[in-house]
Amino acid sequence: MDKEAEEKYLLAGKIAAEVREESRSWLKVGKPLLELAEQIEGAIRSKGAEPAFPVNLSLNEISAHYTPPKNDETKIADKDMVKIDIGVHVDGYIADTAYTVSFNEEKQHIVEAVKEALDEAVKMCKPGAMVADISARIEDTIKKHNCNPVRNLTGHGLDRYTEHAEPEIPNVKNNSSYVLKEDQVLAIEPFATDGEGAVKDTETVFIFMIHERKPVRSVDARKIMNFASVFSGLPFAERWIPLPLFNTRMALRELSQRGAVYEYPVLKEKSGGKVAQYEHTVIVRDEPLITTK
Q: What is the pLDDT of residues 235-260, one digit of tens each?
A: 999 999 999 999 999 999 999 999 99
For residue 241, the one-letter residue type is: I
Q: Provide the pLDDT for residue 161.
A: 97
Domains, the chain, ordered by start: 3-201+268-290 (3.90.230.10), 203-267 (1.10.10.10)
Residue 197 DSSP one-character state:
S
Each residue's pLDDT tens digit, 22-48: 999 999 999 999 999 999 999 999 999
Which is the catalytic residue, given 189, 194, 238, 254?
189
Q: Provide the pLDDT for residue 292.
A: 98
CA–CA separation, 43 vs 190, rounded Å?
25
Which is the catalytic residue, given 35, 164, 182, 201?
164
Mean pLDDT of the chain: 97
74: left (phi over 0), alpha (psi -120 to 50) or beta: beta
Q: Provide the pLDDT for residue 151.
A: 97
Query: Is 287 exposed, middle or buried, given 0-12, 13-18 or 19+ CB atoms closer than 10 A?
Result: exposed
CA–CA separation, 214 vs 193, rounded Å?
40
Which is the catalytic residue, given 89, 145, 156, 280?
156
Give catalytic status of residue 203 as yes or no.
Answer: no
Give catalytic status of residue 156 as yes or no.
Answer: yes
For the chain, which residues score pLDDT lower than 70? none
Q: Provide the pLDDT for residue 25.
A: 97
Residue 200 DSSP one-character state:
E
Q: Provide the pLDDT for residue 203.
A: 97
Nearest to 87 by CA among 227, 231, 193: 231
CA–CA separation, 282 vs 204, rounded Å?
31
Each residue's pLDDT tens digit, 179-189: 999 999 999 99
Which is the catalytic residue, given 41, 50, 61, 96?
96
Give catalytic status of residue 189 as yes or no.
Answer: yes
In the chain, the percentage of residues whose pLDDT exceeds 70 is 100
Q: Judging by DSSP bridges, how do beta strands 62-64 and 81-90 pair with one another?
A: unpaired
